[in-house]
């Protein structure tokens, strides 16, 4: 009998405990509904703050106070009894801070007033108008959706707004930088207007990526020359139309003369002339232009790709209008697991700049690997002072998958982007622990989990491309390695061989003063540090230097041995994550535990594939034995024919 009841309960248990699909993100407040929230009269943003607190605040009373004497910078003062801010948005951020601390059973932070470091904290969505997402690994677009309709669509966007506001994100570029000009047609402006209305109470401005050739491509003008009067007129009219519908529209993001996109060069004009023309029409309405510097293959085609941004932009320093922000990727190549910082940040002293991070894990395992990116972004800030930047942008990893981001831990990268945009001095560990407490509950051993998260980026570097190697990825998908790949249909700069330059004499790209001299674009002390083989940090060695296979590293080990060891170290780390995840099993709901467990197994398989593929390939040149001393992972030699990297 006992047995029967037990098996009945077991059979029913999935029905008894609600399914955990990850949709709730880190916003798992328990409804309470007994708090007295005292607040002044206000608009929709204040009302949102009041509603959230009324529903979820577990204390008896909380006062919201608008104080015009405080700074107008989205900041707030929260002391456990009241939240004070200059603005309604500051109060909303304060409300989420109060709920965040409540969820973690933590006290209000000492130190009083807190305000975001960057005034613009913007997600860049690479969503296409047909609903697909470039480098999206979690389903289709939530904005240009074929899957979500009517109320469900609006509801998802509202949830998106709420999640962003809870971490202080205040802008969204809704569409891909490789955009169709059609986004500027009335049909899409209607959609954008509806989205803007839904997001407004959450303090989020919408922006659009625009195609520089739009007026011509849409058939209104004969040219897209930024100095042509008909072109200027068209853009002005378009901006007026947008602002009439969306008075707080943020502005345009532009990818021009990069990877085949049209731009001012097509008409013999400079990036500054192109950006300023758009800046003029937006300035009338308080809008801005975010002009991307990540260009290559245009004016300086043939030059080392990592140098082209500085070559194209440095003479334009000081020529951009005051509402133009130059937006650059954190590294000079393309969101690799590790890159040195992009030297454009050293070269544009009189230009407002923004950094673009990639939250979506294009080169770090996409929606399949547990790789927490906060340490990578913190590393960037150790070279480029946040104070020198005007804005921060993150290429979003959000799609219409029920759990938003694919990998349950990829949500942490969205969260971390918001938190670092607020305060870049938060440590990776602090952010991880905050996220864990809210996402998995306070019963979970957050120390173990945070340790796993904060070491995961380095593990990824190890098993993908250690010691400054870069762009070893297959050109079609950037998911796995293809060290030997050269495809006739792709430009050479998309293929790995020109980057690793492995040959009998050694490996690595000579960017020292004896090579392409990319080091000359860096400020001191980095210029000399990277130029000099003896002082170049090992983690950037093969980025800046071509060295023999038996080169002695700073730790005394031979390059080839260290390369092998690091691939193994990366794998060992993933094995250790599996063990830790197993230990945490009793503390995590079954659904998310199993999901992550499956993904960790895939991550391990992929890491081994990377090692096998890359080391086997390089071994043809090094002609040295694979040497390793690790325990726990047994190396299974793979025949080249078996190497078949799985696509996601
Ligand atoms: C990468 C990415 C492209 C993207 C480009 C960019 O190359 O693979 O999909 O368009 O970066 O940032 O413009």
At residue 268, does pLDDT exceed 70?
A: yes
Residue 429, ligand 1, Cβ within 6 A:
no
Packing angle between helix 446-464 and helix 590-622, nearest 10 degrees? 30
Q: What's this model's pTM, rounded to 2 decimal places? A: 0.94
Tell me the CATH class for 427-491+551-641: alpha beta
Mean local confidence (pLDDT), 417-428: 98
Mean pLDDT of the chain: 92
At residue 625, does pLDDT exceed 60?
A: yes
Q: What local confidence, expressed as pLDDT, does residue 296 receive?
A: 87
Q: Measuring CA to CA, which residue among 560, 174, 537, 237 is closest to residue 545?
A: 537
Q: What tens digit of pLDDT does each residue of 189-219 get?
A: 999 999 999 999 999 999 999 999 999 999 9
Domains 136-426 and 427-491+551-641 share a fold: no
Interatomic CA distance for residues 392 and 414, integer angstroms = 13
DSSP 534: T
Contacts of 136 (CB under 8 A, 6+ apart): 126, 127, 360, 397, 399
Could you state, in order of their start, the residue ranges of all structural domains in the chain?
Answer: 36-114, 136-426, 427-491+551-641
Q: What tens digit of pLDDT does each residue of 521-567 get?
A: 999 999 999 999 999 999 999 999 999 999 999 999 999 999 999 99
> Which amino acids are annotated catalytic?
259, 334, 362
Residue 209, ligand 1, Cβ within 6 A:
no
Residue 178, ligand 1, Cβ within 6 A:
yes
> What band does 642 get if pLDDT is binned at 50, 70 and 90?
very low
> What band does 297 get if pLDDT is binned at 50, 70 and 90?
confident
- Which atom number of ligand 1 is nearest to the Cα of residue 494? 7
- Which atom number of ligand 1 is nearest to the Cα of residue 362? 8
Packing angle between helix 428-440 and helix 88-103, nearest 10 degrees? 70
Mean local confidence (pLDDT), 239-254: 98
Q: Tell me how far CA of residue 480 lies from CA of 66, 495, 498, 499, 612, in angstroms.
A: 52, 13, 17, 16, 12
Tell me how far the alpha carbon of residue 202 lies from the centroid of ligand 1, in angstroms: 29
CATH placement of domain 36-114? 3.30.379.10
Tell me how far the alpha carbon of residue 597 lies from the centroid of ligand 1, in angstroms: 30
Rounded to 10 degrees, what is the CA torsion of 469, 472, 478, 482? -160
Return the residue matching tokens 């796995």. 480
Assign a CATH topology to domain 136-426. Answer: TIM Barrel (3.20.20)
Q: Are 118 and 394 in contact (CB under 8 A)?
A: no
Q: Assign 3-state DSSP to the chain and report helix, strand, coil percentages, each to 5.
A: 45, 10, 45
Interatomic CA distance for residues 352 and 486, integer angstroms = 38
Residue 294, ligand 1, Cβ within 6 A:
yes
Helix (H) or strand (E) segment spanning residue 447:
helix 446-464
Q: What tens digit of pLDDT does each residue of 556-596 get?
A: 999 999 999 999 999 999 999 999 999 999 999 999 999 99
């Amino acid at each position: 009998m006992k047995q029967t009841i037990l098996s009945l309960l077991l059979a029913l248990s999935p029905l008894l405990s609600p399914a955990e699909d990850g949709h709730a993100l880190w916003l798992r407040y328990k409804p309470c509904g007994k708090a007295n929230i005292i607040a002044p009269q206000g608009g929709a943003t204040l009302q949102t703050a009041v509603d959230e607190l009324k529903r979820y605040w577990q204390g008896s009373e909380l006062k919201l106070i608008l104080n015009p004497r405080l700074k107008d910078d989205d900041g707030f003062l929260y002391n456990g009894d009241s939240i004070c801010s200059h603005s309604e948005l500051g109060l909303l951020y304060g409300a989420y801070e109060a709920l965040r601390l409540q969820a973690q059973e933590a006290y209000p932070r000492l130190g009083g007033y807190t305000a975001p470091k960057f005034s613009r904290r913007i997600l860049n969505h690479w969503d296409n108008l047909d609903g697909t997402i470039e480098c999206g690994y979690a389903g289709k677009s939530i904005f240009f959706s074929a899957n979500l309709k009517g109320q469900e669509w609006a509801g998802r966007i509202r949830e998106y707004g709420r999640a962003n506001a809870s971490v202080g994100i205040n802008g969204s570029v809704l569409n891909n930088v490789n955009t169709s000009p059609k986004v500027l047609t009335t049909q899409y402006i209607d959609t954008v207007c509806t989205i803007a209305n839904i997001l407004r109470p959450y303090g989020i401005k919408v922006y659009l990526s625009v195609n520089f050739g739009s007026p011509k491509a849409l058939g209104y003008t004969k040219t897209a020359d930024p100095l042509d009067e008909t072109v200027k007129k068209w853009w002005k009219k378009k901006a007026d139309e947008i602002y009439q519908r969306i008075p707080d529209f943020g502005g345009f993001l532009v990818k021009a003369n990069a990877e085949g996109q049209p731009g001012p060069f097509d008409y013999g004009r400079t990036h500054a002339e192109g950006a300023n023309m758009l800046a003029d029409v937006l300035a009338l309405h308080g809008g801005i232009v975010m002009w991307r510097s990540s260009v290559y293959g245009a004016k300086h085609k043939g030059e080392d790709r990592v140098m082209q941004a500085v070559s194209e932009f440095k003479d334009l320093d000081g020529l951009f209008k005051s509402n133009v922000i130059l937006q650059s990727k954190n590294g000079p190549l393309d969101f690799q697991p590790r890159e040195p910082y992009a030297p454009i940040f050293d070269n544009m002293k009189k230009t407002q700049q923004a950094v673009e991070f990639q939250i979506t894990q294009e080169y770090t395992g996409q929606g399949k690997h547990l790789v927490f990116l906060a340490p990578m972004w913190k590393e960037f800030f150790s070279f480029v002072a946040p104070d020198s930047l005007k804005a921060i942008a993150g290429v979003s990893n959000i799609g219409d998958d029920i759990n938003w981001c694919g990998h349950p831990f990829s949500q942490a990268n969205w969260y971390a982007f918001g938190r670092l945009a607020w305060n870049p001095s938060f440590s990776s560990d602090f952010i991880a622990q905050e996220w864990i407490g809210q996402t998995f509950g306070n019963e979970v051993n957050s120390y173990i989990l945070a340790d796993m998260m904060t070491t995961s980026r380095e593990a990824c570097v190890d098993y993908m491309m250690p010691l400054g190697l870069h762009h070893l990825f297959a050109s079609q998908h950037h998911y796995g390695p293809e060290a030997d790949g050269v495809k006739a249909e792709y430009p050479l700069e998309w293929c790995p061989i020109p980057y690793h330059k492995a040959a009998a004499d050694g490996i690595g790209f000579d960017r020292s003063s004896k090579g392409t001299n990319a080091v000359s674009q860096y400020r001191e002390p980095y210029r000399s540090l990277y130029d000099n083989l003896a002082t170049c940090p090992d983690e950037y060695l093969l980025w800046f230097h071509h060295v023999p296979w038996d080169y002695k590293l700073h730790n005394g080990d031979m390059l080839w041995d260290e390369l092998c060891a690091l691939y193994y170290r990366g794998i060992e780390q993933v094995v250790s994550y599996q063990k830790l995840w197993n230990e945490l099993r009793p503390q995590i709901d079954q659904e998310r535990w199993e999901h992550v467990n499956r993904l960790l197994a895939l991550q391990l398989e992929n890491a081994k594939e990377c090692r096998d593929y890359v080391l086997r390939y390089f071994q043809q040149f090094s002609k040295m034995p694979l040497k390793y001393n690790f325990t726990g992972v047994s190396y299974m030699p793979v025949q080249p024919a078996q190497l078949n990297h799985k696509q996601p």
